[in-house]
A = this chain, B = another copy of it.
């Protein structure tokens, strides 16, 4: 009787937790291989230092597409191809210039950069009084009589008392995205926005902004100002509310141009119609190398197949690596990819994006049904020995979000976020800000999660 009980228990546990020992072994193998012979760091070195900035529509972006394709071919996929997509082309032009003039002849240079999508100032710049606000509400209260003809200065800092810096970003970024469209309602002639940065330093952080459906003739220039300069401007305004601000930028939008998503695929041996997608975005802002945003996600995604090949793992399901174009200022690559996938009735059972920096991974966040999430949560214990400790519902990645359906799982790698906004969209998002081990731990985490989805699929 006892023996029968033991056997049933064994069988039961085998059915409930199939091959967890084997999974543990494979994940250890993925870890060892990644930490001793990954190509992530070396690939990122090339992308960052040999190609560098790669804003959609730029020469850098096209060089990145070529590089991505050739690297994926070297890794050895069944198929590597480019998917055409029309992207916006915005060019910053010569370095922006700004100064604070407290009185004629007394000036302070400040560090600014145009926000992505902004119009230029006249070639001599704009010069006017400044109105500092912390919110659109405050703007509304001040009204046309206080704002007309002036430059609006948005100076609400990112909240320091949130452990997730992404949450702090989400609560502050309205100033950057919609600041110009809001200020123009009250007659502002330009906006200057405190950089989305939790540190005090001298680097302005660019990023996308939108005029909504404002007529081109009504658009006003929008620039980011470094946090140190924002503090200085705010202090000087308290001393002299009549100071003037001069801003000069010569950025310009052009017609859309053709660019590409880069896609590589290995056909699954058992379930070729079930696609597992892994990716990040190949474009970056123009003032840094985009090493964290999102060079890290690109090389981590590509490297997964390297690792699988090294451990001789042949996926049962089809694995697709997608290097999306134009996440930063349009999401056109993601939308095009989703559109074509839908046309072709492709079944993406799982999609994973890394677009939160190459820092020590803390876990994953998921968008899926509670049934699937309950199943996935059981895998967390396989990651805990590697200090990957958070499996949470809520959010994946911008590029994969158009693939969301009732029947699939989307996930985002969640690295430690404390330093991300030090670099994000700034000129210092460069390769020297990458730590090899932290980057590789991300590659390892992603490869391991992909392995588990490949093994067990999802609940339909």
Q: Which segment, of A182-190, A318-326, A403-411, A435-443, faces chain B? A: A435-443
Chain B CB within 8 A of A163 CB: yes
Bound-state Cα–Cα, A289 to B25, Å: 42
**Pick the contact of A416 from B32, B165, B360, B422 — CB < 8 Å?**
B360
Contact yes or no, A418 B31, CB < 8 A: no
**Pick the contact of A160 from B36, B199, B362, B418 — CB < 8 Å?**
B36
Residues 327-375 (chain A) with a chain B CB within 8 angstroms: 360, 362
Bound-state Cα–Cα, A438 to B359, Å: 13
Chain B CB within 8 A of A161 CB: yes
CB neighbours (8 Å) of A360 from chain B are 360, 416, 418
Chain B CB within 8 A of A242 CB: no
Q: A416-B416, A435-B419, A436-B199 are in contact. Are A387 and B163 (CB under 8 A)?
A: yes
Closest chain B residue, CB of each to CB of A439: B418
Closest chain B residue, CB of each to CB of A31: B161
Chain B CB within 8 A of A198 CB: yes
Bound-state Cα–Cα, A387 to B165, Å: 12
Chain B CB within 8 A of A386 CB: yes
A436 to chain B, nearest CB (A): 7
Residues of A whose CB lies within 8 Å of any CB of B are 31-32, 35-36, 160-161, 163, 165, 198-199, 360, 362, 385-387, 389-390, 416, 418-419, 422, 435-438, 441
27 sampled A-B residue pairs with Cβ under 8 A? A31-B161, A31-B163, A35-B160, A35-B161, A36-B160, A36-B161, A163-B385, A163-B386, A163-B387, A163-B441, A198-B437, A199-B436, A360-B360, A360-B416, A360-B418, A362-B387, A387-B390, A389-B389, A416-B416, A418-B435, A418-B437, A418-B438, A418-B441, A419-B435, A419-B437, A419-B438, A422-B435
